[in-house]
Structure 1
Amino acid sequence: MYTLADAFAYCQRLALNHYENFTVASWLLPRALRGHVYAVYAFCRHVDDLGDEAPGDRLRLLDDWRAELERCYHSTPRHPILVALQETIRCFAIPPQPFLKLIEANRMDQRTSRYHTFEELLRYCDHSANPVGHLFLYLFGHADGERQGLADATCTALQLTNFWQDIAVDLGKGRVYIPQEDMARFGYPEEELERGIVNDSFRALMAFEVGRTRELFAKGLGLLDMVDGRLKVDIKLFSLGGLAVLKALERNGYDVFRRQPRLSRWQKAALFVRGLLPGRPEVKTWRR
């Protein structure tokens, strides 16, 4: 049986060893929240590992993890991540729904590799990304629906940005996140995607996806007027980072097959400084 101190230390090691930006990000967190943020991150990381990398029957493993999560609410968990998370749940009165949605997102990954409509993709984001925003709002004392809705826009935009920059990576895993209806609309068949063809149809398709992703970022920035302190800075930093990746996609002519858009260290540093400055980032939401 893990002590609470050992459990939180386990989560901290996992967070700092697996996420290169967590050391910097943790400086922005109030000291009283750091252990709880590590616990939430560790839970998310472990669920993703079960869904993406674990050998064997991943659906069964995810079911087992869900059963262990339920012990946080009704009994005594055994895994160190959940020992720490139970304390976080108790301190901030977090309901099980955000955690259950994250598990279900990874179950969806085992069953679905294509999305026919944008609405289907948004439903996936509602399980895979939006719960993370809700969890952070709970940690900072904001659990109302209006703030959650704005956080959803930011979290979905970040998830979509990740999809667009990792098209080639996901294709190698047999997954395509570009909605099938959009590919048909712009006359870009999946056969050309598999061959890594970047033509006018693909550029128009990606400009469309980037445009509506940027609109979600713009909507989510409304949350800046409803929070303050460290959370406000975090939201700005995540939004600025996502918008910078979208800009890099455009600058590269949307060629995600030969040059995956990534931000350099100096670009991240510049964004960090911008995130600390007052004011809301300006977002151009027009589409090509």
Structure 2
Amino acid sequence: MSVNHYENFPVGSLILPRRLRRPIHAIYAYARTADDIADEGDASDEQRLQGLSQLRAELDTIAGGGQASTPMMQRLQQQALAPYQMPMQPFYDLLSAFEQDVVKKRYQTFGELVDYSRRSANPVGRMMLHLYGEHDSRSLAQSDGICTALQLINFWQDVAVDWQKGRVYLPQEDLAKFGVTEEQIAEGKADFAFQRLMAYQCNKAHNMLKAGSPLAKKLPGRLGFELRLIILGGQRILHKLEENRYDVFNKRPKLNAKDWWLMLKRAVLKK
């Protein structure tokens, strides 16, 4: 459910129910297309915003009862939105987050970052719950917590990657609090101050992930299993960050075959 390149989006999962593969693939195509418009290639900010505006116009047409005009949006409408009566707001929220990515490169407070995650990550979880017929407020709140945590974890493992794109997701107030400058990030300097800052941020993400994790044991069947794997993946990345003393400049943490084996075992045992 991580939004950045959708590393946790279950689009390729073999355990997806056959009936949900087409709508999930259609949703993924929409989300990935919007993400790429905002983030990939050499387009100007103006061109990126124009591309996202065209997607918004397509959403407006669908919301108004009309028919989408592009093949990708027609697929989304016919395979996901219409047959499953999906709410439109999560799709608009994703566009809002991608538009923000084009124009906003710094975040002053952690609250601003959570608001961004509310629109960039949480919609993905809500879409999945809707497809599986889960609508109660507690499940939605727990899903939001998990998705926000995963988005934050993605930010923390990608501090160096995002710097190359001109973005800093570490809150400016926390940089000042721990005595870390952007010059240190540019230099790839994972000193004690940076380590303390990252430990502080990762602990927040860990607590949010833990608070939402009961949802993975509550949900039945394949959805619960998939979600347990996703949560375990986030936990493993946090562990690797700590193990590497938060030096994301020389070694970006990623999951390997051993990690996946341990995660599969724990997901089956619901641990």
Tell me the TM-score normalized by structure 2.
0.91
SS, match of residue 27 in structure 1: coil
- Equivalent residue number for residue 171 of structure 1: 163
1:79 pairs with one of 65, 70, 73:
70
The answer to whether 1:67 aligns with 2:37 is no
Aligned-residue identity in percent: 42
Range that drifts further, 39-48 or 218-227? 218-227
Name stretches of at least 5 consecutive residues in structure 1 with no aligned partner.
1-17, 282-288
User: How far apart are 1:26 and its partner, in Å?
Assistant: 2.6
**Letter aligned with residue 196 of structure 2:** A
**What is the RMSD of the two structures over their aligned residues, measured on CA atoms?**
1.8
1:60-209 paired onto structure 2 within 5 Å: 60-73=50-63, 74-87=65-78, 88-209=80-201
SS, match of residue 179 in structure 2: coil
Determine the C-alpha separation between the residues in 2 that align with 1:66 and 1:24: 23
- Whether contact under 8 Å (1:26, 1:34) holds in the other structure is no
2:21 pairs with one of 28, 31, 34:
34
**Letter aligned with residue 224 of structure 1:** A
Cα deviation 1:60-82 (Å, max 9, x = unaligned): 11111111122333211122222
User: How far apart are 1:24 and its partner, in Å?
Assistant: 8.7
Cα deviation 1:117-143 (Å, max 9, x = unaligned): 000000000111000001001100012
Cα deviation 1:176-216 (Å, max 9, x = unaligned): 00001111111112221221111111111111011110001
**Letter aligned with residue 63 of structure 1:** S
Determine the C-alpha separation between the residues in 1 that align with 2:184 and 2:8: 35
User: How far apart are 1:19 and its partner, in Å?
Assistant: 7.5
Determine the C-alpha separation between the residues in 2 that align with 1:93 and 1:23: 21
Distance verdict in 2 for CA 1:40–1:236, change over 3 Å: same
Determine the C-alpha separation between the residues in 1 that align with 2:8 and 2:56: 28
- Whether contact under 8 Å (1:72, 1:82) holds in the other structure is no
2:212 pairs with one of 203, 217, 220:
220
**Letter aligned with residue 52 of structure 1:** D
- Whether contact under 8 Å (2:175, 2:197) holds in the other structure is yes
**Letter aligned with residue 17 of structure 2:** P
- Whether contact under 8 Å (1:161, 1:242) holds in the other structure is yes
Distance verdict in 2 for CA 1:190–1:19, change over 3 Å: closer
Aligned pair count? 262
- Equivalent residue number for residue 258 of structure 2: 266
- Whether contact under 8 Å (1:182, 1:205) holds in the other structure is yes
Determine the C-alpha separation between the residues in 2 that align with 1:197 and 1:22: 32
User: How far apart are 1:25 and its partner, in Å?
Assistant: 4.7
- Whether contact under 8 Å (2:8, 2:230) holds in the other structure is no
Tell me the TM-score normalized by structure 1.
0.86
2:226 pairs with one of 234, 249, 253:
234
Q: Which structure exhibits the higher relative contact order, with contacts defined as CA atoms closer than 8 Å and separated by 6 or more residues?
A: 2
Name stretches of at least 5 consecutive residues in structure 2 with no aligned partner.
none
Determine the C-alpha separation between the residues in 2 that align with 1:100 and 1:22: 18
Determine the C-alpha separation between the residues in 1 that align with 2:264 and 2:11: 10
